[in-house]
């Protein structure tokens, strides 16, 4: 170990592998419905895309899964909770849409209106 810089390099590298355990303030918590209905409708690629995108964009977001959210006909469903607990629900998701949500909503804080449940009901 030659300098503090060397240590910092190792730290940043190691941090990426354990972000989910660092307990730092998270900007959003993303929950993907992964019950049988969700999985059948293609929730797994959605979940994996979200995890990959969050890591690639390096944003403080937790991605977890839950069971049936109830609206089985609109699965895959993704719920985004902000730090205050306010919820945005995206429905009929796929990987492509998930990428958009990650970039626009999770990174740049703009809700992607066209995929939300409110928009669908109109």
Partner 1 sequence: MERIQVLVCAGTGCSIGNSSSLVEKFEEEIRSIGLENEVSVLKTGCLGLCGHGPNVSIYPDNIIYKGVHEEDVREIVQEHFYKGRPVHRLMINETDMDTSEIHDVNKTKFYEKQRRVALNDCGVIDPENIDEYIAKDGYTALGKVLTEMTPQEVVDEITKSGLRGRGGGGFPTGRKWQFALNEPGDEKYVICNADEGDPGAFMDRSILEGNPHSVLEAMAIAGYAIGAHHGYIYIRAEYPIAVDRLKTAISQAEELGLLGKNIFSSGFDFDIEIRLGAGAFVCGEETALIQSIEGERGMPNPKPPYPAHSGVWGKPTIINNVETYANIAQIINHGADWFRSIGTESSPGTKVFALGGKITNTGLVEVPMGTTLREVIYEIGGGCPNRKRFKAVQTGGPSGGCLTEEQLDTPIGFDELVKLGSMMGSGGMIVLDEDNCMVDVARFYMDFIVDESCGKCTPCRVGTKRLLELLNDICEGRGTLDTLDELESLCNTIKETALCGLGQSAPNPVLSTLHQFRDEYIAHVVDKRCPAGVCKALMKYEIDPDLCRKCGLCARNCPVSAISGQVGKEIYHIDPEKCIKCGNCLTACHFGAVVRK
- Out of 42, 45, 55, 100, point to the residue binding partner 1 (CB under 8 A): 55
- Out of 27, 42, 62, 92, point to the residue binding partner 1 (CB under 8 A): 62
Rounded Cα distance between 102 and 122, Å, is 24
Rounded Cα distance between 6 and 74, Å, is 49
112 within 8 A of 85, measured Cβ to Cβ: no
C-beta atoms surrounding 48 within 10 Å? 14
Site string for partner 1, 21-50 (x = CB under 8 A): xxx--------xxxxx--x-------xx--
Rounded Cα distance between 21 and 1, Å, is 26
86 makes contact with partner 1 (CB under 8 A):
no
Chain residues that interact with partner 1, rule: CB under 8 A: 1-4, 7, 10-11, 13-15, 17-18, 20-23, 32-36, 39, 47-48, 51-52, 55, 62-67
């Amino acid at each position: 170990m030659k300098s503090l810089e060397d240590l910092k390099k190792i730290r940043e590298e190691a941090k990426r592998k354990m972000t989910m355990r660092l307990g730092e303030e998270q900007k959003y918590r993303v929950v993907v419905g992964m019950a049988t209905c969700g999985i059948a409708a293609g929730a797994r690629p959605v979940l994996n895309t979200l995890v990959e995108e969050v890591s690639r964009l390096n944003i403080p977001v937790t991605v977890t899964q839950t069971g049936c959210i109830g609206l089985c006909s609109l699965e895959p469903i993704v719920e985004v909770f902000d730090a205050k607990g306010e919820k945005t629900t995206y429905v009929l998701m796929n990987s492509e849409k998930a990428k958009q949500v990650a970039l626009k909503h999770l990174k740049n804080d703009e809700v992607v209106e066209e995929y939300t449940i409110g928009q669908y009901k109109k």
